[in-house]
Amino acid sequence: MRATVLLYNPVSTSPGKQRLPMSLLALAAMIAEDYDVEIIDGNLIADPAAHIVERARATRARLLGVTVMPGPQLRQAVPVCRQVKAALPDLAIVWGGYFPSNHAEVVIASACVDYVIVGQGETAFRKLVDVLHSGGALDDVPSLVHQRGDTVLVNPRAPFAPLNNLPRYPYDRVHMPDYLGKSYLGQRVGAHHTSWGCPFACNFCAVVPLAKQRWLAESADRVIAVTRFLKERYGVDGMEYHDMDFFVSERRSEAIAEGLIGQEIRWWGLGRVDTLMTYRDATFAKLAKSGVKMIFMGAESGSDETLKLMNKGGSSGTSQTLAIVERMKHYGIVPELSFVLGNPPDPVADIEQTITFIRKVKAINPATELILYLYTPTPQEGSLLLDEAVKLGFRFPQTLEEWAGAAWAEKSLRRNPGTPWSKDPVRRKIRDFETVINAFYPTVTDVRLHGTMRRLLQALSGWRYRLAFYSRPYELKLLQRMVQYRRPETMGF
């Protein structure tokens, strides 16, 4: 009889907005030939702990793999794993993904997690599954963090596995219609990760410690094949390519664009301002023709000084950001820019500077979408931003329970990082500005926002925007609440 391995995706989003659990599909692909795999999605069921216990008893599973991002996933994963451990002490629990990769020692110290796998997970997970089911030494499992007595053992990392050598996601392990939502891109929008990692080392970004500046990319042929498969099998008409950096290689982007032309797929991807500025016009023209509707870019700041402090790398600069929004306007591609506001050492001045800059961006290309975050440190050695934050009194939670508590939850959504310098007036300043600018330039991705409401929002916010008077825009907040204005930074598309 084949052994069963359970994989659990803790709740990560609001109902109806669930995303394909790509991390678990990547792991399932590695073992699906030799083991039965069940994916349990906390976004789709009310009581994941009871469900896991029931499935583990029914299948006699010995291992539960859990993927964990900070925020809502972590908040659910901790109590669920605690309940599962209490009911089934022999079911081994392994965590992987962003949160445990960045905070392995805190996770392993908790009684409800037996193993952590850090970084790229495929080969390490396969080895762990084999060792636990067929015997072997835990010391031979790469990228594994585990405890022997009181000692925490950190095994060397697995060599990076090129994505083309890894099996494709076994989509039949999930009920695909649950994951094909409607959005600005289409009626059945799918998701894929065409590359993993990022070559840069921006010191606010959680990808850096996870992927160690490596960029592993699927070939253009494979990206096109996966996309066509999703279209033919599941009727997908839009794609979100969730890569940490889709556009690193112009040659690959061009080849993907060529393959997607005529497929009638509207798509979205994430890239860097400076990389995209080096693209040739011919590539941009092909990208536009291939159906790319929006490109997400981390503009991060309206201050060149802050960009240096962030170690954005490359040739990032505010003038490049202005140039890219102009360029994309020409090709009819919407730039979606994220900014990290309130950076140390002078958070208030930082906000003022970025607000002034955002106004310039909108004057050049009003269709630009904005995502405004507050700076929240990530654990990176040598990060100047983190050093500044620590000087101002910041510290990470010390236990898993503290990480998963209500106080820290808000921080991981980056709406309120609770950092000592982001006191109420600072936060309010950003949110008030956001309310006014979003009313004056309503988002083009909100399919529910129709003409009359757009015009009303614009008319009511006009005087505030022109006078740069953002304080307490209650009338606009009320109106936005009436149309349930969707925040791109917390809702995704």
**Residues contributing to the site for ligand B12 (CB under 6 A):** 9, 12-13, 19, 21-23, 26-27, 65-67, 69-72, 94-99, 102, 117, 120-122, 125, 193, 196, 206-207, 242-244, 378, 412-414, 489-490, 492
Contacts with 379 (C-beta within 8 Å, 6 or more apart), sequence order = 102, 103, 209, 386, 396
Pick the closer one to ligand B12 by CB: 266 or 414. 414
Give me the least distance between CB of 72 and ligand B12, in Å please. 4
Residue 92 tokens read as 């081994």
Sheet of strand 92-96: strand arrangement: 36-41, 4-9, 63-67, 92-96, 115-117, 144-148, 151-154
Pick the closer one to ligand B12 by CB: 71 or 271. 71
Pick the closer one to ligand B12 by CB: 354 or 412. 412
Pick the closer one to ligand B12 by CB: 194 or 461. 194
Pick the closer one to ligand B12 by CB: 321 or 380. 380
Q: Taking a C-beta distance cutoff of 8 angstroms, is the pair 113, 68 a contact?
A: no
Residue 164 tokens read as 């083309």
Q: Provide the 8-state DSSP code for 201.
A: -
DSSP string of 274-310, one letter each residue = HHHHHS-HHHHHHHHHTTEEEEEEEEE-S-HHHHHHT
Instruction: Please identify the residue of the shown chain whose CB is closest to the bound ligand B12.
Output: 96
Give me the least distance between CB of 83 and ligand B12, in Å please. 18
Pick the closer one to ligand B12 by CB: 176 or 323. 176
Give me the least distance between CB of 321 and ligand B12, in Å please. 18
Characterize the bridge pairing of strands 186-192 and 181-183. antiparallel
Give me the least distance between CB of 358 and ligand B12, in Å please. 19
Give me the least distance between CB of 96 and ligand B12, in Å please. 2
Characterize the bridge pairing of strands 4-9 and 36-41. parallel
Question: Helices 72-87 and 48-59 sit at what angle, rounded to 10 degrees?
Answer: 40
Give me the least distance between CB of 128 and ligand B12, in Å please. 7
Pick the closer one to ligand B12 by CB: 401 or 489. 489
Q: Provide the 8-state DSSP code for 172.
A: G
Give me the least distance between CB of 170 and ligand B12, in Å please. 13
Please state, in angstroms and rounded to a whole number, the distance separating the CA atoms of residues 216 and 82. 35
